[in-house]
Structure 1
Amino acid sequence: MSPKRLYNEAPKYLVPPDDENLINCINKVREQLDQHFTSLEPDLPYLINDINKLRTCDFEVRRYLFQTNLDVNQAVEMIKDRLTWRKEMSLDTLRYQKFPIEFYQSGGIFEFKTDNDGDPVLYVRSKFNVNIEILSKSLRQFLIFFMDKMDQRFSRERSWGLVFDAQGFGWNNIDFDFLNLIIKILKYYMPWSVKYVVIYEIPWFLESIWKAAQHFIPEDGKRLIRVYNKKTIGETINPINMPKVIGGLSPDNHIIIPEGVEPATVIGKIELGLNDEDVYRIKKHLAKLDKEMGELIKV
């Protein structure tokens, strides 16, 4: 996406990165944060890599100045909250190998090609989310891991798209806690990173629920949401760049298995603290959602 288009679509207080007032605000935020870090040394409750990135990457500061309408003090407090959250989530230690191979085989969450602006897209197949505590907790961490990878990799405004594929979505997939989590992450912990959130092929029987769910979404968040079906998705993503599993036309496989990942029977117990029954329930759920996946994920 070109800078001109970005600034035209954004709120009035978004200014070019070389704006003198913005640069002054960035410096003030960094001064306050450095004072804060110094007061806490040597026991900093934050990740060192996050602190270093704040000092070298303007976007990490700029995103919160845009979020607060250039309010330096408020931006500082929001950055502190983000630093605390990232530490609590142990995002510095999460790796592809921390999750079982079945998560990748299921194709529930994956990055695939680019949109019409050439920016990458993260897909979430909503039917794979289920309100079962032991599974939803692991899948949420899996999604946060992928979102963080996208956010950290590009470190610029509106750099990637998020698509929720609602095909196959049923009553057991309804999870307002999951919705609130996504809203919270995009607003407080990864602001100005996502360029849009696409709701793709929402079932007719969920339209009323979707209308009700919008009341939970802040006004600035609603601006990012686009509802598409197979006929209209081309406005944002060319079907040739979408995986066949959700109705796209790309011949490429959307499932990529990272090197070194282990089955749930191994990694689930070590990394996620699961027992044999938990592992069986997770594998059974993933296998029944998709015939092809059922052949891969043996239970």
Structure 2
Amino acid sequence: MPAPTNLVTPAKTEHYFNDEFVQQVRNTILERLELADNNNCDDELIYDRADVERLKSNDDWFIRRFLKWTPTSLSDAENVIHQALLWRKSIKINSWNESTFPAEFYQIAGCFSYLPDMEGHNLIIVRLRIHKKEPNSNQWLETLARHYFIHVLEQIVSKNPNRGFALIFDCHKASLSNVDLDMARFIISTLSNYYSGAIGYVCIYELPWIFNQIWRVVRSWLDDEAKKIVKFATISNINEIVDRNNLPDYMGGTCEKNYRHVPKGAPTLEELVISNDIFSNRKDIVKMNEHFQKLIKLS
């Protein structure tokens, strides 16, 4: 589906973006909570308390951001919101902050938010060449990396009400060693299921010819609506999408915003690993640190 030029006032007026429909969705979800309460169930066992408060407020964006551009029915919309809220509670998304994630993730700048494009979409840039699996990779580290991606999404969506985002997959100088199809599936699933009402488009930047077959595989995982919001760009025409004043330096831009900024209080990865008792062998921690230091230099 083509991305509207302005997410604040969509070009189309399907009932997903009709105030009355949004209120119907809110009422239906709150009725679900009331029913649970009448059955002596604590609504906090269903959704996170902070999300319940957002539902009860007049924050329509909190509902619209989850809903797909192509509307179907009230029951479908209710189920989308219900599943999204269950997911948010399961990963404890409202408990995260900038110091939840290690300083190295920020220094690597493999995924970061940036200034808006020509149409006002806030940008999230994912740099594929920075993605290399840690030699001693385990489930904890992979989950942390995935949660970091979600955190970047959540921050830019929640802090910019009624304003969608665009995702740029920067494939410049990437090689086959950077390809992670499991991560690709995760990103597609996350965007489709939990941010479909907020995403304007996905831009694949500087796709190497050796990735053509991989792209065909990834494209086969997309539904028809998702395929329509994918666009391609190269260094020669990226300025038609994003003004060079809003592009980072490595993409030929002149913007001086620091995309490697480390928030105050962010722990080191080693501190997190030790506090969570991830590696019992000191040598594994040393290898992990060496790996991430290489990525920082590469960035």
Q: Which stretches in structure 2 are left out of the alignment for 5+ residues?
A: none
Where does residue 87 of structure 2 map in the other structure?
85
Q: Which contiguous aligned blocks of 4+ residues in structure 1 show a shift greater than 6 angstroms?
A: none
- Closer, same or farther in 2 for the Cα pair 1:206/1:59, shift >3 Å? same
- Closer, same or farther in 2 for the Cα pair 1:126/1:14, shift >3 Å? farther
Where does residue 228 of structure 1 map in the other structure?
233
Q: Does 1:47 align with 2:48?
A: yes
Alpha-carbon distance in 1 for matches of 2:95, 2:276: 11
Q: Which stretches in structure 1 are left out of the alignment for 5+ residues?
A: 294-299
Alpha-carbon distance in 1 for matches of 2:44, 2:295: 46
Structure 1 residue 71: deviation in Å?
A: 1.4
Alpha-carbon distance in 1 for matches of 2:73, 2:67: 6
TM norm structure 1: 0.84
Counterpart selection for 2:119 from 117, 120, 123: 117
Alpha-carbon distance in 2 for matches of 1:258, 1:285: 22
- Closer, same or farther in 2 for the Cα pair 1:146/1:217, shift >3 Å? same
Alpha-carbon distance in 2 for matches of 1:291, 1:64: 37
Alpha-carbon distance in 1 for matches of 2:243, 2:70: 34
Where does residue 296 of structure 1 map in the other structure?
none
Q: What SS class does the counterpart of residue 169 from structure 1 fall into? A: coil
What is the CA deviation profile of residues 26-75 of structure 1, one whole-angstrom value per residue up to 9, with x for unaligned ones? 35424543334424326523210111112222233345555572412222
Alpha-carbon distance in 2 for matches of 1:94, 1:152: 13
| Contact 1:114–1:237 (Cα < 8 Å) also in 2 | yes
Q: Does 1:286 align with 2:292?
A: yes
Q: What SS class does the counterpart of residue 232 from structure 2 fall into? A: strand
Alpha-carbon distance in 1 for matches of 2:277, 2:254: 36
Structure 1 residue 271: deviation in Å?
A: 5.5
What is the CA deviation profile of residues 178-211 of structure 1, one whole-angstrom value per residue up to 9, with x for unaligned ones? 1111111111112211111111111111122112
| Contact 1:126–1:165 (Cα < 8 Å) also in 2 | yes
Residue 241 of structure 1 aligns to which amino acid in structure 2? N
Structure 1 residue 123: deviation in Å?
A: 1.2
Q: Does 1:218 align with 2:212?
A: no
Name the Cα RMSD after superposition. Answer: 2.7
Deviates more, 1:37-46 or 1:103-112: 37-46
| Contact 1:68–1:75 (Cα < 8 Å) also in 2 | no
| Contact 1:65–1:72 (Cα < 8 Å) also in 2 | no
Q: What SS class does the counterpart of residue 125 from structure 2 fall into? A: strand
Alpha-carbon distance in 2 for matches of 1:155, 1:5: 12
Residue 25 of structure 1 aligns to which amino acid in structure 2? Q
| Contact 2:7–2:164 (Cα < 8 Å) also in 1 | no
| Contact 2:164–2:198 (Cα < 8 Å) also in 1 | yes
Alpha-carbon distance in 2 for matches of 1:197, 1:93: 28
TM norm structure 2: 0.84
Structure 1 residue 5: deviation in Å?
A: 6.8
| Contact 1:98–1:271 (Cα < 8 Å) also in 2 | no
Alpha-carbon distance in 2 for matches of 1:24, 1:268: 44
What is the CA deviation profile of residues 196-244 of structure 1, one whole-angstrom value per residue up to 9, with x for unaligned ones? 1111111111122112210011111112211111112122211221111
Where does residue 297 of structure 1 map in the other structure?
none
Alpha-carbon distance in 2 for matches of 1:64, 1:79: 6
1:23-62 matches, within 5 Å, as 23=22, 25-38=24-37, 39=39, 40-41=41-42, 44-56=45-57, 57-62=59-64
| Contact 1:163–1:197 (Cα < 8 Å) also in 2 | yes
- Closer, same or farther in 2 for the Cα pair 1:192/1:130, shift >3 Å? same
1:234-253 matches, within 5 Å, as 234-253=239-258
| Contact 1:128–1:286 (Cα < 8 Å) also in 2 | no
Q: What SS class does the counterpart of residue 250 from structure 1 fall into? A: coil
1:1-299 matches, within 5 Å, as 2=6, 6-8=10-12, 13=14, 16-18=17-19, 20=20, 22-23=21-22, 25-38=24-37, 39=39, 40-41=41-42, 44-56=45-57, 57-63=59-65, 66=68, 69-132=71-134, 133-134=137-138, 135-156=141-162, 159-270=164-275, 273-274=278-279, 276-289=282-295, 291=297
